[in-house]
Copies of this chain bind each other. A is one copy, B any other.
Amino acid sequence: MTDKLELNTNAYLPLRDVVFHTLREAILKGEIKPGERLMELQLASKLGVSRTPIREAIRMLELEGLAVTTPRKGAEVAKMTEKDMEDVLQIRKALDELAVGLACENIGEHHLEKLFVALKNFEESTRSGDVKQIAQADVEFHDVIYQAADNPKLMNMLNNLREQIYRYRVEYLKNKSSYPRLIEEHKEIYEGLKRGDKQAVVEIVSHHVENQEIVVKNIIQEQE
């Protein structure tokens, strides 16, 4: 584990939340690796807080699926097998289809405009070649759709699912040859939503996620 975990003390939030976000970031960025133990005292001294907020943060990571704990042994960062990834992607596909379908029914001018901006941003970011930035732009594009779906719980679940595959997603986005297809798919989703053609957008999103699924699974197989 890197030894430069640092708290964002900027917010006036309970420490448990700060710790939670800090650890989550560290896990998603790969600074703490799957299988690595999350030891309370160690983390506490590293972050300069007591064990109490650490423990509560771990409980939260646990429920988010980013950590697994065994009683009296402690917590470790969740490992992801190919099967786990398949499972997550199956769920994500179903929920993404739901979300875009709902968005299609509810979407208004406001969100369409935001979506257009996000679309252009994404296109722009692919030219920069900065993977982090591309990932961010992609997240923003899909976030607009989730917001338009007007179902906070669904948005929550999708964000959580996205987290769980984030590490592999970044790898996936390193492959530049897929950028044109991604842009095209985003464009089609936007067009479909604008037309209010529910069947079409669900179809496209379905393929969109399937494509991801194939690539991400390849990446995992290589890693194993």
Measured CB to CB, the residues of A under 8 A from B are 13-14, 16-17, 52, 55-56, 59-60, 62-65, 71-72, 84, 87-88, 90-91, 94-95, 97-98, 102, 151-154, 157
Contacts and interface: CB of A to CB of B under 8 A. Distances in A.
Nearest to A59: B59
| A55, A60, A91, A152: most-surrounded residue (chain B CB, <10 A) | A91
B56 A88 contact: no
Counting from the closest, the 7 A-B pairs by CB-CB distance are A63-B63, A94-B98, A87-B151, A59-B59, A87-B153, A56-B59, A94-B94
How many copies the complex holds: the figure is 2
Contacts of A84: 153
27 contacts: A13-B71, A14-B72, A16-B59, A17-B71, A55-B56, A56-B56, A59-B59, A59-B63, A63-B63, A63-B64, A65-B153, A84-B153, A87-B152, A87-B153, A87-B154, A88-B153, A90-B98, A90-B102, A90-B151, A91-B95, A91-B98, A91-B151, A91-B153, A91-B154, A94-B94, A95-B95, A157-B157
Contacts of A98: 90-91, 94
Contacts of A102: 90
B59 A91 contact: no
A151 B63 CA distance: 17
A61 to B, nearest CB: 10
Nearest to A57: B59
A52 to B, nearest CB: 8
A80 to B, nearest CB: 11
A121 to B, nearest CB: 28
A130 to B, nearest CB: 31
Contacts of A62: 60
Nearest to A69: B14
Nearest to A91: B154
A13 B72 CA distance: 9
